[in-house]
C-alpha cells in the first residue's frame, strides 16, 4: 500500500500491517522456518519410501548405488557446501552493508548452483546412456552384483531404486532451480542497493532456503551414493 501515510514515515520496506520493522522481520523469518518444516515433510514421504525399499531390496539398492558416479557426486557435494559458505558470508555482508561484496557472493552462489545442476545433468545423461532410467528400455544386466548376494538382481526391484533416485534427485534439482531463481531476484535488488544493515530480511530468509536445499543433498548423497561402498573382498 504505497499510498498509506504510515508506510512513508517508516521507509518503503515496512508494510502497512506491521507495527515495526522487527515484527516484520520476525514474521518473515518464522514464515520461512515453517515453510522449511513443510519441506521436510514433503521430502519425508520419499525418504520413508526409500527406507522401506532399501530394507526389502538391499542387494538391488547396493548394486544401483555402486553404478552411480562417485566422483561427480563428491564434487557436487563440495560445490554445494561451498555455495552454502558464500550464502552465509553474503548474509553477513548484507548485515554490514557491504553492497559490492554481497553482489559478488550472490553471483558466486548462483554459479555454484548452476554448476551443481550442470554436473547433475551430466550424471543423469550417463544414466540415460546406460539404460538405467526406469521404463520399457530399462536394463540392469550390466550392474555390478554385490559379492555376498546369492540370488540375482531382480530388475523390477532395481527399477525401484532408480525410481527413487530420479524422484529424489529430481525433486532436489527442482528446488535448486527455484533457489537459483530466488538468488537471481536477490542479486537484482542487491545490485540496486536495496539491502542495508537495517533491512536485509530477504537475504536472510533466501539464505535459509538455500541452506535447507543444501542439507537435503547432504542426506541424499550418502543415502543414494554410498550404500555398501566399502572395498570389495
Residues in CB range of 59: below 8 A, 6 or more apart: 145, 146, 149, 151, 153
34 binds another protein (CB under 8 A): yes
128 binds another protein (CB under 8 A): no
HSE value, Cβ hemisphere, 13 Å, CA-based, for 66: 18
49 binds another protein (CB under 8 A): yes
Instruction: Give the count of beta carbons closer than 10 Å to the beta carbon of residue 122.
Output: 11
221 binds another protein (CB under 8 A): no
Residues in CB range of 86: below 8 A, 6 or more apart: 105, 106, 108, 109, 112
- Cβ(160)–Cβ(224) below 8 Å: no
163 binds another protein (CB under 8 A): yes
17 binds another protein (CB under 8 A): yes
- Cβ(150)–Cβ(56) below 8 Å: no
Which of these segments, 37-45, 82-90, 99-107, 206-214, binds another protein (CB under 8 A)?
37-45
Question: Judged by CB under 8 A, which of 65, 109, 159, 201 binds another protein?
Answer: 159
151 binds another protein (CB under 8 A): no
Question: Judged by CB under 8 A, which of 164, 180, 205, 213 binds another protein?
Answer: 164
Burial class (CB within 10 angstroms; exposed 0-12, middle 13-18, buried 19+) of 98: middle
Interface residues toward another protein, by CB under 8 A: 15-19, 23, 26-27, 30-31, 34-35, 37-39, 41-46, 48-49, 52-53, 57, 134-136, 154, 156-157, 159-160, 163-164, 167, 171
Amino acid at each position: 500500500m504505497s499510498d498509506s501515510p504510515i508506510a512513508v514515515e517508516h521507509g518503503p520496506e515496512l508494510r502497512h500491517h506491521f507495527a515495526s520493522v522487527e515484527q516484520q522481520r520476525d514474521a518473515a523469518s518464522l514464515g520461512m522456518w515453517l515453510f522449511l518444516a513443510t519441506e521436510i515433510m514433503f521430502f519425508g514421504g520419499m525418504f520413508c519410501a526409500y527406507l522401506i525399499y532399501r530394507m526389502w531390496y538391499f542387494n538391488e539398492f547396493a548394486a544401483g548405488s555402486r553404478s552411480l558416479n562417485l566422483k561427480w557426486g563428491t564434487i557436487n557435494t563440495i560445490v554445494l557446501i561451498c555455495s552454502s559458505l558464500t550464502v552465509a558470508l553474503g548474509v553477513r555482508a548484507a548485515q554490514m552493508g557491504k553492497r559490492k561484496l554481497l553482489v559478488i557472493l550472490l553471483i558466486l552462489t548462483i554459479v555454484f548452483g548452476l554448476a551443481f545442476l550442470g554436473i547433475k545433468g551430466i550424471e543423469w545423461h550417463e544414466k540415460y546412456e546406460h539404460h538405467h532410467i526406469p521404463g520399457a528400455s530399462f536394463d540392469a544386466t550390466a550392474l555390478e552384483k554385490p559379492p555376498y548376494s546369492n540370488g540375482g538382481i531382480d530388475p523390477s526391484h532395481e527399477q525401484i531404486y532408480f525410481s527413487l533416485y530420479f524422484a529424489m534427485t529430481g525433486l532436489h534439482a527442482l528446488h535448486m532451480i527455484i533457489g537459483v531463481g530466488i538468488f537471481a531476484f536477490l542479486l537484482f535488488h542487491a545490485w540496486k542497493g536495496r539491502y542495508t544493515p537495517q533491512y536485509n530480511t530477504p537475504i536472510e530468509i533466501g539464505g535459509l532456503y538455500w541452506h535447507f536445499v543444501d542439507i537435503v543433498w547432504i542426506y541424499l548423497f550418502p543415502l543414494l551414493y554410498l550404500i555398501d561402498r566399502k572395498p570389495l573382498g
